[in-house]
Structure 1
Amino acid sequence: MKKEEPTSEEKPMNMDEISDEFQQVNEARQNQKTDADVEETEPENNAPDFSAEDKHKEELALANDKFLRLYAEFDNYKRRTSKERVELLQTAGKDVIVSLLPVLDDFERASRAIETAKDITAVKEGISLVHNKFKNLLTQKGLKEMVSKGEVFDADIHEAVTNIPAPDESLKGKVVDVLEEGYLLNDKVIRFAKVVVGA
């Protein structure tokens, strides 16, 4: 092949011209890249901002929804417990009252029997049985009679009505007599024992 000679119209370029041309092409490419980068990055920058904003709005909406649900649930809980408390107060003693009704029936039968009874010992036995039934029922419900006589006086469970000279040296500061029994309900004092204390 024959080497092509430059025509008279095409002048050979010197090194400075080639370097300038190369630099211009490079700058043009750089400008194109930065313009393209700006075009590409602008939507990308906007897209994350836009999606982040949407994400925050969605999270806020979810949090608000959760809050409203919890608030409504708590409000319902308060209303329900308030209603249950009122019902409990209205029927607090229902269980005890229902269990006492048979004892009441026994007392009514004993009362009718007293009017027509010829033998008083049978009536006494009947009343004694009703009394025991009543005490057993109360014991089942957690009632316990205090044992006070002969015990050391304790202001937490006893109420001293009076002091008397102790009949015996060993009874000083102790309960000599019980005027009214004290009771515990589930080991909690519900009535103090009224006692006479030896001095």
Structure 2
Amino acid sequence: MKDKDQTLENEQEARETTEETGTASQTEETPEEKDGGVGEEPQTEKKGFFGKKKDKKDKKDIQIEELTDKLKRQMAEFDNFRKRTEKEKASMFEVGARSVVEKILPIVDNFERGLGSVSEDQKEDPFVAGMEKIYQQFLAVFEELGVKPIEAVGQEFDPNFHNAVMHVEDEEAGENQVVEEFQKGYTYRDTVVRHSMVKVAN
């Protein structure tokens, strides 16, 4: 009888042990559960619109920058070309205008010589009056074009504007002073077209 009771007690203890073991197994967390659950994906790096990492510029952005730089260079080159062309055009015009002025100057010289030889009695003559008007028209056109006569008599000799063809001793005049002008000189827009032909005192 005692053996039977002992057997029943052993079976009861075995069942209790089994139940405790099962309960502990259910309540114990797995490594995956401790780490945040099974199947949870780790955090990933931010990606661009097409799934590529946005740590570098896109090819499209690079191409836009290259085209923009190329366009700026071409615009700068065109602007320089335009300025150079305008400068060359202005220079050619200046050369052409100066050439025309040089050819007209002898005509103006002849008018001055002719009018200078007219006596006081002849100045009222209609022919002389007509020549005077034409001469004044030449001077007006010269002024509009920027052609100006060079000051000579009474001025200090300046080789940039005067051409000394004669020297004279003159106590009344200052040293190196222009005392007479043989041919009038002219400038065109600050450029000498013809030097004044003068006599200079020593």
Question: TM-score, normalization: structure 2?
Answer: 0.58
Residue 58 of structure 1 aligns with which residue? 60
- Between the aligned partners of 1:186 and 1:83, the Cα distance in structure 2 is 20
Residue 157 of structure 2 aligns with which residue? 153
- Shift in Å, 1:187: 4.3
CA contact (8 A) 2:173 2:179 kept: no
Which of 186, 195, 199 aligns to 1:196? It is 199
Residue 128 of structure 2 aligns with which residue? 124
CA contact (8 A) 2:164 2:200 kept: yes
- Shift in Å, 1:193: 1.5
Residue 20 of structure 2 aligns with which residue? 11
Question: TM-score, normalization: structure 1?
Answer: 0.58
- Shift in Å, 1:133: 0.6
- Range that drifts further, 76-85 or 154-163: 76-85
**Aligned-pair Cα RMSD in Å:** 4.0
Residue 180 of structure 2 aligns with which residue? 177
User: Computing the radius of gyration over CA atoms, which structure comes out larger, 1 or 2?
Assistant: 2
- Shift in Å, 1:146: 1.9
- Between the aligned partners of 1:87 and 1:152, the Cα distance in structure 2 is 36
CA contact (8 A) 2:152 2:181 kept: yes
Deviations 1:23-77 (A, max 9, x none): xx36323555697453x41xx3554853344x43232111122133334444555
- Shift in Å, 1:197: 0.5
- Between the aligned partners of 2:193 and 2:39, the Cα distance in structure 1 is 91
Instruction: Tell me the number of residue pairs that the alignment of Structure 1 and Structure 2 aligns.
Output: 160
Percent identity reads 17
1:162 aligns with 2:182: no
Deviations 1:79-111 (A, max 9, x none): 6566666765676658xx8xxxxxx9xxxxxxx
CA contact (8 A) 2:32 2:38 kept: no
Between Structure 1 and Structure 2, the one with more helix by share is 1
Deviations 1:98-130 (A, max 9, x none): xxxxxx9xxxxxxxxxxxxxx994322212211
